[in-house]
Amino acid sequence: MTASSTAAEASAAARANPKTSWLSGDPRRLIAGILLVVLALLMLPPLWILFLDSFTEQDAIGEITGFTLGHFAKLLADKRAVESAWNSIVFAIGSTILSLLTGGVLAWLVERTNAPFKVLAYLATIISMGTPFILHVIAWLFLLGKVGPLNDLYRIVTGADDNLFNVHSMTGMILIEGFLWSPLVFLMLGATFRAANADMEEAARMSGATVFDTLRRVSLPLAKPALLALSLFVFIRSIGAFEVPALVGMPARLYVLTTDVYAATIHVPPDLGYAAAFSVVMVAIMAVLLYYYGRLSRNAERFASVTGKGYRPRPFDLGTGRWIAGAIIIFNFMIVLVLPLITLIWMSLLPFPKSFGLSGIPLLTLDNFKAVFTVGGYTELAVNSITVAAGAATVVMLLTALAGWIAARNGPGGRVLDQLATISLVFPSICLGVAVMEVYLRVPLPIYGSLWIIVIAYVIRYMPFGMRYVYSGVLQLHKELEEAAGVAGAGAMTTLRRIVAPLLSPALIAGWLFIFLIANKELAIAVLLASPTSKVIAVAIFDQYVNGQGGELAAFGLCWTVLMTGIAVIFFAQMRRGAADVYGN
Amino acid sequence: MLSVANLTKIYANKFDTQAGGVRDASFELASGTFFTLLGPSGCGKTTTLRCIAGLERPDSGRIAVGDRVLFDHQLGIAVPLNLRGIGMVFQSYAIWPHMTVFENIAFPLRVSKDRKYQRDEITRMVEEALDTVGLGGYGERPATRLSGGQQQRVALARAIVSRPQLLLLDEPLSNLDAALREEMRAELRRLQQQIGVTTIYVTHDQSEALAMSDLIAVMENGRIVQLDDPRTIYFRPASAFVAGFIGAANLITGTSQDAVAADGIGAVRLEDGSAIACLFPKGSAAGASVTVALRPESIEVVPEGQQAASGEHMLRGTVASASFLGGSGRYDVQIGPRVLRVVGSAETMVGAGATVGLTFPPTAAVVVGG
């Protein structure tokens, strides 16, 4: 064999194996390439169309006739736009504080003290995972409304004939939104308190500090980064909230950013330039807030003082104070779960809306429930919702299983994949609805007006969540588990199929269930995309409420909540299992 | 069998300084050698191993097993790791928790690209591997229900089941408790000799390295600083670093006097003016400042006033502290400005404050460089 033929062979071998690291061979590059195209086609057009719409003049059929800054000028000049922006901020700050206070106190009591009735807090959280937001809102509107028990009681006690409390006000919005968020705050802060190192608190106690001193000087400063990150998170979500502003604020002509965008879109003729310009402003605000959120939460991770295996935090002994704590837990349970539930049951059993009272009892009937199961439409609605949510969850998990794996393992294009998949975080739901609607009005495919467009919007919306689940799932797998497969002779695809996929399945299942649950709660995206023939449940409840069909709606909502709560139970069980099997470490 | 030439793989960190990796490592291993890469964490031993396995792509150099080139920077050859046919035991064992013990071990046979294994052939080979590591009958057990030592054995069985020419062991004993580590150390060595597979072992534990290896490479800051058999490494360390790393050596500085005799014995004048006889490496110059490594257990503590045996040197000092360790007695002896660590008999010990003489043969005092 001559020297030149050896060199030729070698360079042929080099062409065949252009490896930079052991897995970055052809198979993974191919997957990354395909994912890049799919994600770019899915995630980027909505952003692009918003910019396009906000900077251009368009004629009636959507042809661009010229570029303009007019939409933005109009925003600035419009007194209402400035007013809604201000309302949004007040609303978001108010509900953030309320939910952090209620959820935070609850989380600390449940995770770090010996308060009784802890199970109630979990129960409320699980059921609230399964309840569409809008049902909660409707229940609260009734409770605090003109014919509701609060104002009723006030009139009976004082003999006045006005109302103590007008729910259709900023205070009403903040109250309802705050209570909506408190279970989530409870969940997230609970995890923080669970992970905190009890030794540090015990050291403070041994140094002579009281429970209160310890809390103020040790526990709270330790939890501060996590608290800050969480407040910003809730603030961001409240800025993008739609259900409460739409149902509580709009009847009183109290607009926030999201409802303003909604109003401009459903207005006839729709003012899409205005909506798009408004959306662009919101997306920009979101991007800035998310940037700071990212920094804050990384900071929070650095502060986490989790210790090794077999670690069990020791709860504080509150002494007799534990009964006060128990009362707080029960009070919260009443507010978050029992009152709204009783309200819904009451509403569902009455043929027409009526305040709580003995006079209602003879009227009680199961007709609304009968209607749910016999009158057409409801079954179809349920099937639609489940199909859309399951479809979106499946697509998201399939895409993110691959993208998240490549990103978490620093594979080819990993960073870009991660950014593409999480870019939709900058959209408030309603703006994403507007954008997706605009994109698929222009695409010459029969997607607009079908269920498909809702599936696509959900996929875009929930891609970041799927990415989170997969990413942290992969990080929990010891890298050597994959490397061992490579050394044993398996190629990238075999490793993916036989090692990564099975080990990742708990994270994939948990992610799927989570997306399925929140997709079924979602109103803001679907409200603009659903057509009369392609409705999902949250939209139907919204429409019916606006049309005043309270009883049937409550009955249907209750049945739906029971079903979703069942799935939420499976979800939490799965999370528990996932937490128990952290493999390979 | 294995030849590694000028292997270099450097990790740059964000401060643009060297953050680890390996520089210009070269060695040749004969078939059946038990070779150990020894060094502190961050010295590049694991990087070297991962480059050979194919888990990292070197920046330059060449790796070949027999006639087969696995990596050659100049020729642009880089065989993917799954085609290298090397067995490896990982530090975390990397036992797949979703498979049984049998399936874990059978995996390399099932995914083999070289040849298709028949079902009964796989069964036979896996059972053979299980027997070899002393886990016969454990095949159907779920991998999650194994003790640390058993996981270790499964990992080993998986690494040898397809009879590789080369076996890589990445600190395999570091996750075991002390007693089990002793046992597995002997077991590993016995197994390696039984199978006769060329083995590269990575560890930071010098006693493991000395006990098991045919050949040891001591690494420091990415470079191989000494490549020798265990006895030479221990008795003739090539540098102060090796001497210090391999055992707690006393390092004394001084100046070499006149010429070194043919047997390598020469005199070193210490700072206080006294001279001791030391073993010099070849080609040492007179008058250079040198460092002498003196192992604590080669020094004998004798009562003050006793004469040194012929050819041995005697230093006098005061016991600064004495500790009873059970198997031995440990002293810190103050000699002029410096303290020497001495390990002696525990039967009769001298108390702190006593004045003693220290004697040692010249071959125990090794000049390890400037």
What stretches of A423-536 show up as alpha helix (H) in DSSP?
429-442, 451-476, 479-487, 492-495, 501-521, 524-529
Mean pLDDT score, A12-20: 41
Distance from CA of B110 to the nearest CA of A (A): 9
C-alpha–C-alpha distance, residues A225 and A233, integer Å: 12
Among B residues 58-77, those touching chain A with beta carbons less than 8 Å apart: 69, 72, 75-77
Q: What type of residue is B282?
A: K
Neighboring chain B residues of A486 at a CB cutoff of 8 Å: 54-55, 81-82
- The reported pLDDT for the residue numbered B34 is 96
Question: Per the structure block, which two tokens stand in for A321?
Answer: 């104070």
Residue A8 scores a pLDDT above 50: no
pLDDT value of residue A11: 42
Q: Given this model, what pLDDT does residue B260 score?
A: 67
Residue of B nearest to A484 (CA): B94
Buried b (16+ CB within 10 A) or exposed e, A308-337: eeeeebebbebeeebeebbebbeebbebbb
Residue A490, SS3 per DSSP: coil
Task: Give which of B357, B359, B360 is closest to B304, Cα–Cα.
Answer: B357
Task: Compare A205 and A108 and report the one with higher pLDDT.
Answer: A108
How large is the average pLDDT for residues A541-568? 85
- Residue B27 makes CB contacts below 8 A (sequence gap 6+) with B3, B4, B35, B217, B224, B227
Q: Give the list of residues 6+ apart from residue A79 with CB closer than 8 angstroms, or none.
A: none
> Which residues on adjacent β-strands are paired with residue B38?
B203, B218
Q: Which regions of chain B are under pLDDT 50?
A: none
Q: Do B77 and A502 touch (CB under 8 A)?
A: no
Q: Which of A10, A481, A581 sits opposite B96 (nearest CB)?
A: A481
Q: Which residues of A touch B54 (CB under 8 A)?
A: 22, 486-487
> Which of helix, strand or coil describes residue B31?
coil
Nearest CA in chain B to A499: B96
Distance from CA of A437 to the nearest CA of B (A): 44
CA distance B99 to A560: 39
Interface probe with A: pick from B9, B55, B113, most Cβ of A within 10 Å: B55
Quote the CA–CA distance of A391 and A52 in Å, as a whole number: 30
> SS3 for A85?
helix
CB contact under 8 A, A489 and B98: no
Residue A347 confidence class, pLDDT cut points 50, 70, 90: confident
Q: Which of A6, A22, A581 sits opposite B54 (nearest CB)?
A: A22
Nearest to A244 by CA among A563, A542, A462, A530: A542
Q: Per 3-state DSSP, what percentage of chain B is helix, strand, and coil (rounded to 5)?
A: 25, 35, 40
pLDDT at A12 over 70: no
Q: Are B349 and B329 in contact (CB under 8 A)?
A: yes
Residue of chain A whose alpha carbon sits nearest to that of B167: A487
In the predicted structure, residue A178 carries a pLDDT above the cut 60 = yes
Interface touch B92/A478, C-beta < 8 Å = yes
> A481 to chain B, minimum CA–CA distance in Å?
5
The reply to whether residue B79 touches residue A17, judged by beta carbons under 8 angstroms, is: yes
Whether B19 and chain A come into contact, CB under 8 Å, resolves to no
Dist. CA A257–CA A244, nearest whole Å? 12
Q: How far is B133 from chain A (nearest CA, A)?
A: 18
Q: Report DSSP letters for B221-286, one per residue.
A: TTEEEEEE-HHHHHHS-SSHHHHHHHS--EEEEEEE-SPPPTTSEEEEEETTS-EEEEEPPTTPPT
State the Cα angle at B209 between B207 and B214, rounded to 5°: 135
Looking at the complex, report in whole angstroms how far the Cα of residue A192 sits from the nearest Cα belonging to chain B.
28
Task: Residue A28: list chain B partners with CB under 8 A.
Answer: none
Closest CA to B77 of A411, A16, A492: A16
Cβ distance A20 to B57 less than 8 Å, yes or no, reads: yes
Closest approach of A471 to chain B, Cα-based (Å): 19
* Cβ distance of A584 and B94 shorter than 8 Å: yes
Helix ranges, B134-254 (H):
148-160, 178-195, 206-212, 230-235, 240-246
Residues of B in contact with A499 (CB under 8 A): 96
Nearest to A489 among B72, B90, B112 (CB): B112
pLDDT band (50, 70, 90) for residue A583 = very low
In B, minimum Cα distance to A8 occurs at B75
How far does A577 lie from chain B, in Å, by closest CA?
Answer: 14
Q: Which residues of A187-225 are buried (b: 16+ CB within 10 A; e: fewer)?
A: bbbbebbbbbebeebeebbeeebebeebbeebbeebbeb
Taking alpha carbons only, the member of B197, B164, B167, B201 closest to residue B185 is B201
Q: Which of A7, A480, A502 sits opposite B94 (nearest CB)?
A: A480
Report the side by side order of strands in the sheet with B300-303. B300-303, B355-360, B313-324, B329-335, B338-344
Chain B residues with CB under 8 Å of A502 CB are: 98
Q: What is the pLDDT of residues A66-93, one digit of tens each?
A: 788 888 888 788 788 888 889 999 999 9
What ipTM score was computed for the predicted complex, to two decimals? 0.81
**pLDDT of res. B217:** 96
Which is nearest to A52 in space by CA: A44, A60, A42?
Answer: A44
The 3-state DSSP composition of chain A as helix, strand, coil percent (nearest 5) reads: 75, 0, 20
B55 vs A: CB within 8 A: yes
Q: Which residues of B touch A478 (CB under 8 A)?
A: 92, 94
Per-residue pLDDT of A408-434, as tens digits, reads: 888 888 889 999 998 988 888 889 998
Chain B CA closest to residue A492: B82
State the pLDDT at residue B273. 74
Cα separation, B321 vs B341, whole angstroms: 10
Identify from B96, B125, B161, B165 which residue to disrupt to test chain A contact, counting A C-beta atoms within 10 A and taking the largest count.
B96
Q: Mutation target for A interface from B70, B77, B81: give the one with most A CBs within 10 A.
A: B81
Enumerate residues 87 to 106 of chain B having a beta carbon within 8 A of any beta carbon in chain A. Answer: 87-88, 90-98
Question: Is the four-CA dihedral A494, A500, A502, A505 of positive or negative sign?
Answer: negative
In whole numbers, what is the pLDDT of chain A averaged over residues? 83
Q: Hey, of A4, A22, A508, which one would you mutate to test binding to chain B, going by the most B CBs within 10 A of its CB?
A: A22
Q: Which residues of A touch B83 (CB under 8 A)?
A: 489
Are residues B359 and B302 in contact, defined by beta-carbon separation less than 8 angstroms?
yes
State pTM to two decimals. Answer: 0.81
Residue A7's Cβ-side half-sphere holds a number of Cα atoms within 13 Å equal to 4
Q: Which residues of A touch B (CB under 8 A)?
A: 6-7, 10-11, 13-14, 17, 19-22, 25, 478, 480-481, 483-491, 494, 498-499, 502-503, 581, 583-585
Least CB–CB distance from A14: residue in B76, B108, B158: B76
> What is the band of A16 on the pLDDT scale with cuts at 50, 70, 90?
very low
Q: Which residues contact B256 (CB under 8 A, 6 or more apart)?
A: B266, B267, B268, B269, B280, B284, B285, B286, B287, B288, B289, B290, B367
What pLDDT band is residue A19 in, cutting at 50, 70 and 90? very low
Q: Chain A contact for B111, CB < 8 A? A: yes
**% of residues, chain A, pLDDT over 90:** 22
Distance between CA atoms of residues B341 and B334, nearest Å? 9
Using a CB-CB distance cutoff of 8 angstroms, which residues of chain A are in contact with residue B108?
A: 488-489
Tokens, residue A547: 């049309």
The confidence band for A542, taking pLDDT boundaries of 50, 70 and 90, is: confident
- Closest chain B residue to the Cα of A482, Cα to Cα: B94
Output the CA–CA distances (angstroms, integers) from residue B339 to A29, B13, B232, B291, in the order listed. 61, 39, 26, 15
CA distance A534 to A521: 16
Minimum-distance CB partner of B90 among A11, A19, A484: A484
pLDDT, residue B129, reads 94
Contact predicate A560/A372, CB 8 Å: no
Contacts of A13 in chain B (CB under 8 A): 75-77, 79
Within 8 A of A476 by CB-CB distance, chain B residues are none
Chain B residues in contact with A6 by the CB 8 A cut-off are 75
CA A125 from centre of chain: 14
Beta pairing, strands A64-67 & B2-12:
unpaired
Write the burial class of residue A570 (CB in 10 Å: 0-12 exposed, 13-18 middle, 19+ buried): middle
pLDDT of residue A445 exceeding 50, the answer is yes
Alpha helices in A196-271 (DSSP H): 198-206, 211-214, 220-239, 243-244, 257-266
Q: Which residue has the higher pLDDT, A274 or B15?
A: A274
Question: How many cross-chain Cβ pairs, A to B, lie less than 8 Å apart?
Answer: 107
Pick from B79, B92, B158: CB nearest A480: B92
